[in-house]
């Protein structure tokens, strides 16, 4: 176990409707630079951040999907989505731009419990 | 206990910004320590000294400045979020070739590393808005 | 047509970047670009094109290790080529956006 505080970042916002997704990513990258173990959970509309084939150039915005694929370069590999959210949105793991851990909704509470700090975006 | 507050909420369109201020006051009055207040996203707009609310409404930048002076608080404004919203100190105004600085007294522009450090050091991190 | 730089020597328009411009920026930083510099510059440009992010030091080191081999994927190697803060300096020479000072 690391003596650094671990952080769980819960993402519940869609990628382009607000600046939340980008703000969350910046916090994740920064915490990783400071050697804090970072886990990311995508729930509800947050799942849409992970979808493959985004075309935000139509909105004149930066591609969130591209930035998320940099996470492994920052040693952020603990990425969680729930089975229920995939099912609700008619998605499978193959629709996502990153490899993720699929967990059941019940697991969220233990994820929260297993981290020292939690932030929500 | 050692607290840090993270303020995401915009000062006038969301109540959470003023809730953060009242929460900070309450913590201090109960003898807790505030390690840092970190303003992020739209929360940074509260550090704009040019805010001129009506006389019968709260002037949040001024209230924070007073609280910071009284208790030597560390009020850190995310520099990237601030600069894109036009909240600049002298350095950044010069760096981005803008006419004027408008960061209110008692606030300081700095990076997200200050948030990571606050999370690492504080017993509790409480988020407002977002 | 002259190329405009801001007060800190960053390109005003990123699309003005060319290899000649890179050499000019490097020179103003006291660096004379050789092949070793160039391969790192190309790695950071590719990083930016792929991820739309300017890398911090650790991911830059990782990207250099992936592309150019483990011997070069070390901070000491990058520090020698780009003294001071390599991630910032390479980004500047490679014509990436001005860092937002967030770290």
**What is this structure's pTM?**
0.90
* pLDDT, tens only, C41-89: 999 999 999 999 999 999 999 999 999 999 999 999 999 999 998 999 9
Residue C9's pLDDT is 83
Give dist(CA C90, CA C94) in Å, integer: 6
Q: How confident is the model at residue C7 (pLDDT cuts 50, 70, 90)?
A: confident
In a domain, A2, yes or no: no
Residue A16's pLDDT is 95
Residue in C with minimal Cα distance to A76 = C59
Chain B CB contacts of A117 below 8 Å: 119, 125
- Best of C47, C57, C59, C85 to disrupt the A interface (most A CBs within 10 Å) is C59
Q: What domain range includes position B35?
A: 2-128
Q: How confident is the model at residue A3 (pLDDT cuts 50, 70, 90)?
A: low
Residue B117's pLDDT is 94
Residue C49, phi then psi, degrees to nearest 5:
-65, -40
Verify whether the Cβ–Cβ distance A23 to B116 is below 8 Å.
Answer: no
Give dist(CA C15, CA C27) in Å, integer: 20
Neighbours of B60 (CB within 10 A): 21
- Best of A22, A33, A68, A70 to disrupt the C interface (most C CBs within 10 Å) is A70
Task: Report ipTM for this prediction.
Answer: 0.88
Q: Where in the sequence numbering do the catalytic residues of B fall?
A: 78
Q: Give chain A's domain count.
A: 1
Residue in A with minimal Cα distance to B5 = A119
Residue C1's pLDDT is 60
Residue C103's pLDDT is 57
Q: Between C98 and C1, where is the model more confident? A: C98
The first and second tokens of residue A52, run together, are 């493959």
Q: A107-116 contacts: CB < 8 A, separation 24 or more?
A: A107/A80, A107/A82, A108/A41, A108/A43, A108/A82, A111/A8, A111/A39, A111/A41, A111/A80, A112/A8, A114/A6, A114/A8, A115/A6, A115/A7, A115/A8, A115/A39, A116/A5, A116/A6, A116/A7
Q: Which domains does chain C have, with CATH numbers?
A: 14-93 (1.10.10)
Task: Kindly tell me if the per-residue pLDDT of B10 is higher than 50.
Answer: yes
Minimum distance, in Å, between the CA of residue A115 and any CA atom of chain C = 23
Task: Kindly tell me if the per-residue pLDDT of A2 is higher than 50.
Answer: no
Q: How confident is the model at residue C102 (pLDDT cuts 50, 70, 90)?
A: low
Minimum distance, in Å, between the CA of residue C93 and any CA atom of chain B = 18
* pLDDT, tens only, B41-73: 999 999 999 999 999 999 999 999 999 999 999
Verify whether the Cβ–Cβ distance A120 to B111 is below 8 Å.
Answer: no
Crossing angle of helices C86-93 and C57-68, rounded to 10° = 70
Task: Kindly tell me if the per-residue pLDDT of B108 is higher than 50.
Answer: yes
Judged by a CB distance cut-off of 8 A, whether residue C100 touches chain B is: yes
* pLDDT, tens only, A6-53: 999 999 999 999 999 999 999 999 999 999 999 999 999 999 999 999
In a domain, A116, yes or no: yes
Residue B81's pLDDT is 95
Q: What domain range includes position A63?
A: 7-120
Task: Kindly tell me if the per-residue pLDDT of A1 is higher than 50.
Answer: no
Which CATH number characterizes residue A81's domain? 3.40.1260.10
Which CATH number characterizes residue B40's domain? 3.40.1260.10
Q: What is the mean pLDDT of residues C10-30?
A: 93
Residue A4's pLDDT is 84
Q: How confident is the model at residue C99 (pLDDT cuts 50, 70, 90)?
A: confident
* pLDDT, tens only, A64-83: 999 999 999 999 999 999 99
Judged by a CB distance cut-off of 8 A, whether residue A48 touches chain B is: no
Chain A CB contacts of B127 below 8 Å: 119-120
Verify whether the Cβ–Cβ distance A7 to B119 is below 8 Å.
Answer: yes
- In this complex, the residue of C7, C8, C103 whose CB is nearest that of residue B111 is C103
* pLDDT, tens only, A90-114: 999 999 999 999 999 999 999 999 9
Q: What is the mean pLDDT of residues B96-108?
A: 95
Chain A CB contacts of B8 below 8 Å: 23
Within 8 A by CB and 6+ apart from B28, the residues are B34, B67, B71
Q: Tokens 């600085």 correspond to what residue? A: B101
Give dist(CA B22, CA B67) in Å, integer: 10
Residue B130's pLDDT is 72
């Amino acid at each position: 176990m690391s003596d650094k505080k671990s952080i769980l970042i819960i993402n519940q916002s869609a990628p382009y409707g607000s600046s939340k997704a980008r703000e969350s990513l910046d916090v994740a990258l920064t915490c990783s630079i400071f050697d804090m173990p970072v886990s990311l959970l995508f729930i509800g509309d947050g799942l849409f951040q992970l979808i493959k084939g985004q075309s935000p150039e139509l909105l004149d915005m930066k591609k969130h999907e591209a930035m998320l694929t940099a996470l492994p370069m920052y040693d952020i590999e603990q990425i969680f989505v729930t089975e229920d959210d995939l099912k609700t949105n008619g998605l499978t793991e193959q629709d996502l731009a990153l490899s993720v851990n699929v967990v059941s909704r019940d697991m969220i509470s233990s994820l929260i419990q297993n981290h020292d700090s939690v932030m929500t975006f | 206990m050692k607290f840090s507050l993270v303020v995401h909420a915009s000062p006038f369109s969301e109540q959470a910004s003023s809730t953060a201020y009242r929460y900070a006051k309450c913590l201090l009055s109960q003898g807790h320590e505030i390690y840092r207040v970190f303003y992020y996203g739209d929360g940074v707009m509260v550090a704009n000294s040019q805010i001129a609310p009506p006389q019968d409404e709260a002037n949040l930048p001024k209230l924070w400045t007073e609280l910071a002076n009284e208790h030597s608080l560390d009020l850190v404004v995310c520099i990237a979020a601030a600069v894109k919203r036009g909240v600049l100190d002298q350095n950044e105004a010069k760096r981005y070739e803008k006419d004027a600085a408008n960061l209110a007294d008692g606030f300081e522009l700095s990076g997200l590393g200050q948030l990571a450090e606050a999370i690492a050091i504080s017993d509790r991190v409480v988020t407002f808005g977002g | 047509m002259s190329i405009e730089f801001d007060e800190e020597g960053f390109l005003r328009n990123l699309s003005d970047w060319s290899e000649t411009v890179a050499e000019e920026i490097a020179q103003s930083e006291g660096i004379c670009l050789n092949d070793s510099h160039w391969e790192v510059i190309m790695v950071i440009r590719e990083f930016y094109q792929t991820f739309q992010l300017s890398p911090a030091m650790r991911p830059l080191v990782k990207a250099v290790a992936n592309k150019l081999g483990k011997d070069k994927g070390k901070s000491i190697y990058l520090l020698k080529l780009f003294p001071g803060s390599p991630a910032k300096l390479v980004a500047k020479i490679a014509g990436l956006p001005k860092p937002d000072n967030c770290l």
